[in-house]
Amino acid sequence: MDRLNGLLAFARTAEFGSFIAAGRTLGISASAVGKSVARLEQDLGVRLLQRSTRRIGLTEEGKLFNERVRRILDDIDDAEAMLSRTRETPHGRLRVSTPIVTYHLLFPVLSEFMARYPEIELDIDFNDRIVDLIDEGVDIAIRSGDLPDSRLVARPLAPFRLLLCAAPSYIERHGSPSGPDDLVNHYGIRFRFPNSGKLQGWPFIGGSAEPQVRSMLTCNNTEALKGATMAGLGISSMPDFLVREALRDGKLRTVLDDHVDGRGQFRLLWPSNRHLSPKVRAFVDFLPDRLAATLSGS
């Protein structure tokens, strides 16, 4: 505690340039502040403050030391705030931005989250647009792919696989391709990313060149993609969780399974604020484990 008191006395003196002002903020006398700083300097074997009759300034060593001390004290404040927040009941509006397709992932588990945290009001934006969490005031986003924004913290969520699918009616009319080269004789339904305008690549093993396929339809909405595929318009690439029921019920079939390697990963993203609010912490702690359990069937 003596060392911590010395750091506090030094930091406040460096901030205000006065033992008297530092003592007022710490609730001790100016003399006690001066003695604490002097003991700290003695322990370190270096002068930290340049004293004069008008003002107290930092030596070069003191400037360097002050930067590190401020970080240490900030971390202590954060730790205390974290413990205090764990005693708070998570409440308030929680804004979540997530791709439209994750509707199929989230809704089986959200009722449990809302029952566990009844004072949290979920405000979910199902939108394939890439939002700026900080500028738009969004608490959490769910995204896949590259994460270039260093202002965000990421936590792995649910892994998934991209499959190539077609309706039985389409396969009856056109047959099932036996290899990627056969796709030249088939129709494709392609997904276009809303933010970049690029077509989603089809996930062939080894990242081989995109095969030639005639596009019957291009859209930027995964629900429309699924609907067009189930209507027998062509072959499309969709995540496994989106088509699980349709495959089980025989409304869709997978094609080229031996040639496809479509592993993907969703992540939770949130701004890297120093203090994580209880409502965000509740969501971040709940969703990954619960979602993993649901997908594994447990």
CATH number of 91-298: 3.40.190.290
Report residues of the chain scoring pLDDT below 50.
Answer: 298
CATH number of 2-86: 1.10.10.10
CA dist 279 and 116 (Å) reads 12
What does each C-alpha distance from 77 to 1, 8, 80, 186 come to in angstroms? Answer: 15, 12, 5, 62
Position 298 scores a pLDDT of 47
Position 128 scores a pLDDT of 77
Position 5 scores a pLDDT of 84
CA dist 5 and 24 (Å) reads 14
How far the first Cα of the chain sits from its last, in Å, is 49
**At 271, which helix (H) or strand (E)?**
strand 263-271
Query: What residue ranges do the domains of the chain occupy?
Result: 2-86, 91-298
Position 108 scores a pLDDT of 83
Position 241 scores a pLDDT of 87
User: What's the burial of 194, exposed, middle or buried (CB within 10 Å: 0-12/13-18/19+)?
Assistant: middle
pTM tops 0.75 = no
Q: Please indicate whether the domains covering 2-86 and 91-298 agree at the CATH topology level.
A: no
